[in-house]
Every structure is written in C-alpha cells, then in structure tokens.
C-alpha cells in the first residue's frame, strides 16, 4: 500500500439526476417514467408486452411526481416489472391532482435487460416542473 496517510478518498455517487420533457405535462411525466427505468437498464431493451394500470394522487405537481416515481419503484420492487412505454392522464379535481397511467413493459431479465444501477428511493432534491416554450420540463433526483 505504500507510505502515507493510510487512507484515500474514493468517489461515491449516490444519486441520479434526471431531466425529462414533453409537449404536454402528461408527456413529460411519461418521459420521466421512461428515464426512471433507463437508470436501471437500457429502456430500449424493454418490450412493452404487458400492461399495468397505476394511479396516484397528491396535493401539488411536485408531490404527484414524487408519488408517480415511487409507484414505479414499488411496482418494480414487488413484481419485477420494467416499463418502456406509458400513457398518462393528469386531472385536477377537488384541489388534488390525480395521475392515471397505463405502463407497458415486461418482467426484468438481466440476460436481456443490461443492469445499470439499483434505485433505492425517490427524493424531492432539486425537483423542478416547469412550463416552458413548447412544453414542460421535469427534473428530479433518485437515490441509487
């Protein structure tokens, strides 16, 4: 090991920072879902052969995004499904936002879906949902 202090600092990356966009809020949320699964594997390798319906609701759009990504993580953790295609609708009723989604994918198979990193949790860190010229931009951070 050689002389010196007896230690060194190693790089430790514990987060993934994502940006997704779309011409509508729904499309931006769909792409945020695709980006989430692309952290774990090559999303282009995931065949959209099975449909799963998901629904979340929250008081505001940031909380809705948090619940959306968390629901995708829970679905992966409990069923082993990875998704590559989404159909999202978002509506505001009674002061709450409700997201309904159809997610299309298949069971995770490391032989066909190259593993990248494991996602541990969704966070509110650096979260942004902005309406811009021509659409919406979403940024979020997950713990890995």
Which tens digit of pLDDT belongs to each residue from 114-130? 999 999 999 999 999 99
Does the pLDDT of residue 73 top 90, yes or no?
yes
Looking at residue 4, its pLDDT comes to 61
Q: pLDDT tens for residues 4-46?
A: 667 766 666 799 999 999 999 999 999 999 999 999 999 999 9
Looking at residue 121, its pLDDT comes to 96
121 SS3 class: strand
Selection from 144, 22, 17 nearest residue 73 by Cα:
144
Does the pLDDT of residue 143 top 90, yes or no?
yes
* pTM greater than 0.85 (yes/no): yes
Selection from 130, 118, 110 nearest residue 36 by Cα:
118
d(CA 106, CA 79): 10
Looking at residue 35, its pLDDT comes to 96
């Amino acid at each position: 090991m050689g002389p010196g202090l007896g230690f060194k600092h190693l790089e430790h990356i514990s987060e993934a920072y994502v940006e997704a966009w779309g011409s509508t809020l729904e499309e931006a949320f769909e792409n945020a879902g695709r980006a989430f699964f692309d952290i774990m594997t090559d999303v282009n390798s995931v065949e959209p052969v099975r449909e799963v319906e998901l629904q979340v609701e929250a008081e505001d759009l940031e909380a809705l995004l948090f619940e959306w990504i968390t629901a995708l993580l829970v679905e992966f953790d409990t069923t082993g499904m990875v998704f590559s295609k989404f159909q999202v609708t978002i509506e505001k009723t009674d002061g709450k936002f409700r997201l309904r989604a159809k997610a299309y994918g298949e069971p995770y198979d490391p032989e066909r879906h190259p593993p990248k990193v494991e996602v541990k949790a969704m966070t509110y860190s650096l979260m942004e949902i902005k309406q811009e010229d021509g659409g919406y931009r979403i940024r979020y951070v997950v713990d890995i």
